[in-house]
Amino acid sequence: MISLAALSGLTAILSAKLVLQGDTSCPTAAEVGRELESMLQADARVEERIVLRAVGDAIGVELFSADGTELMRRLIPTDADCQGRARIAAVMVGARLQKLRPEVFKSAVAAPPVVVPEPFVAQNRPIPTFENDLDLGLGLAASTAGTEANLAGTAQLHLFSPSGGLGVHIGLHVDGMRDVAFTMQADTDRAVRFRRIPITFGPAWRLNRKTWNLDVRLVPVALWTNVEGRNFVSNQEGTAWALAGNFGVRASSRTGVIVTWIDLGAFVWPAQSAYASGTLSESVDLPRIGAMLSVGGGLCTRCRPVSD
């Protein structure tokens, strides 16, 4: 009679000639061995070796000859209980062994079920309806107030469809302080210092070139202006809101979710004046034209795959 024993908890030996190895728990090597033992003649002696392996969520069964040659490699269906899987594995092994040693079996072994692994098909990442670029950057801003250029900062949000076309631009731009002198009081160095913070919001058009984009915008501006006197006996300060306009061009490139960009914007400011009162009353006009060149980076919070 063929005996069945356990070896180190991982190997079961079927007589001295047939060895089952495996670290699987459903089925175990011992369970498969008992099923195979029931198919063999009482005096059967074979030399082949069976190995059970976990293959992802499935169980693989392999059959090797005594010299290590692989004779079979199959997957056990996972839609049965442990006993059913053990029976299927034994039938798979028995069907192959019967072709080599038919004399050791009590009767013909039924053909095992054919398990064809489904090919892995990569699922395309769904393309979002809209994709968002959230950008931060630094740049230089200039105006007709003088030839100097101030360091400026900008934060922008862009909302477009993945294919480009009409979208939405939102931007917050912060310029540095600038001085405009009162010409009639030049000997006193009196001036007005002002800062403008424009908020841009409106439509933009994106030309989509897969890995890079070109955006063009013509949008209104909500303009906040702060002014204060300089070198007066009593320096006064004031703020005001007004409407302005912005035309801009932005080129951007994306690697994964990282966006790099360069933006050039031109601003048309409303007519704004500052007044000095006292012995010499005078008004000075703030500049009407400004420009900002900025570069920066950002994140695409909802992105199409770059290869699309």
Classify residue 90: in a domain, yes or no. Answer: yes
User: Within a domain: residue 141?
Assistant: yes
Tens-binned pLDDT, residue by residue, of the chain (308 aa): 333 333 334 445 554 456 788 878 888 888 888 888 888 877 777 678 888 888 877 888 888 887 888 888 888 877 788 888 888 888 888 888 888 878 877 776 655 555 544 444 445 556 567 788 888 888 888 877 655 678 889 999 988 888 888 999 999 999 888 888 777 655 567 788 888 999 999 999 999 877 788 999 999 999 999 988 887 777 888 899 999 999 999 999 988 888 999 999 999 999 988 887 766 677 788 889 999 999 999 988 777 655 44
CA angle 249, 213, 210 (to 5 degrees): 170
Q: CA–CA distance from 306 to each of 12, 254, 296, 300 (Å)?
A: 53, 8, 20, 11
Pairing of strands 212-230, 273-276: unpaired
**DSSP 8-state symbol, 103:** G
Determine the pLDDT at residue 204: 94
Q: Give me the CATH number covering residue 62.
A: 3.30.160
CATH number of the domain within which 270 lies = 2.40.160.20
Asked if residue 115 belongs to a domain, the reply is: no
Q: Are residues 137 and 99 in the same domain?
A: no
Answer yes or no: is 92 within a domain.
yes
Q: What is the pTM for the complete model shown?
A: 0.55
Please, what's the b/e burial string for 55-88 (b: 16 or more CB within 10 A of its CB; e: otherwise)?
eeeebbbbbbeeeeeebbebbbbeeeeeeebbbb
Both 74 and 190 in one domain: the answer is no
Please give the pLDDT value at position 4.
36
CA pseudo-torsion sign 146, 151, 153, 158? positive
Question: Tokens standing for 83?
Answer: 């006993």
Cβ atoms of residues 230 and 177 within 8 Å: no
Same domain (yes/no): 58, 164: no
Q: Tell me which residue range forms the domain holding 33.
A: 4-104
Instruction: Indicate whether 119 belongs to any domain.
Output: no
| Same domain, yes or no: 137 and 284 | yes
Question: Given this model, what pLDDT does residue 111 score?
Answer: 53
Query: Looking at the domain assignment, is residue 123 inside a domain?
Result: no
Structural domain ending residue among the three candidates 104, 121, 154: 104
Residue 192 backbone phi and psi in degrees, to 5: -115, 130
Helix-then-strand count for the chain, H and E: 2, 17
HEC string for 150-213: EEEEEEEEEEECCCCEEEEEEEEEECCCEEEECHHHHHHCCEEEEEEEEEEEEEEEEEEECCEE
Instruction: Tell me, yes or no, whether 126 lies in a domain.
Output: no
Domain count within the chain: 2
Whether residue 190 is contained in a domain is answered as: yes
One domain, residues 85 and 233: no
Q: Which two tokens mark 166? A: 């009409």
**DSSP secondary structure string for all residues of 115-148:** --PPPP-PPPPPPPS-EEEEEEEEEEEEETT-S-
